[in-house]
């Protein structure tokens, strides 16, 4: 699966996502795009999943019309995410086109 990490998504997750190709918004030159523009650019470029920490995306965007799946992480700090990385892996592996998943990650 081709995965896009939004700004704020902890990049150390990348090696845990075996079998997937992961790129960041910055690598794509999309780090200044807003949510709707980012989703459109990602879909046009063939990305199948966006991983973000923007908890408001669900309310700001009409995701029902999208082909790209979206996963929202409850934390953006790697030390908080690391103990729960399996939750992220499971969400990525279960993602379906147009789907939306929130991965709850409690504070340490």
Q: In a structure prediction context, what are the per-residue pLDDT tens digits for the chain, which is 108 residues long?
A: 999 999 999 999 999 999 999 999 999 999 999 888 999 999 999 999 999 999 877 777 767 788 999 999 999 999 999 999 999 999 999 999 889 999 999 876
- Phi then psi for residue 4, to 5 deg, are -110, 130
pTM exceeding the 0.85 threshold for the entire prediction: yes
Cα separation, 42 vs 59, in Å, equals: 19
Q: What angle do CA 51, 82, 76 make, to 5 degrees?
A: 45
- Shortest CA distance to 68 belongs to which of 88, 47, 89, 45? 47
């Amino acid at each position: 699966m081709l995965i896009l990490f939004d700004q704020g998504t902890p990049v150390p997750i990348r090696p845990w996502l075996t079998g997937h190709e992961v790129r960041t918004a910055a690598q794509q030159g999309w780090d200044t795009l807003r949510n709707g523009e980012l989703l459109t650019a990602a879909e046009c470029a063939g990305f199948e999943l966006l991983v973000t920490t923007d908890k408001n995306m669900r309310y700001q965007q009409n995701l029902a019309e999208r082909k790209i799946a979206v996963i929202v992480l409850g934390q953006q700090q790697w030390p908080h995410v690391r103990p729960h990385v399996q939750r992220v892996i499971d969400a990525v592996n279960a993602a379906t086109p147009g789907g939306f998943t929130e991965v709850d990650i409690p504070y340490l």
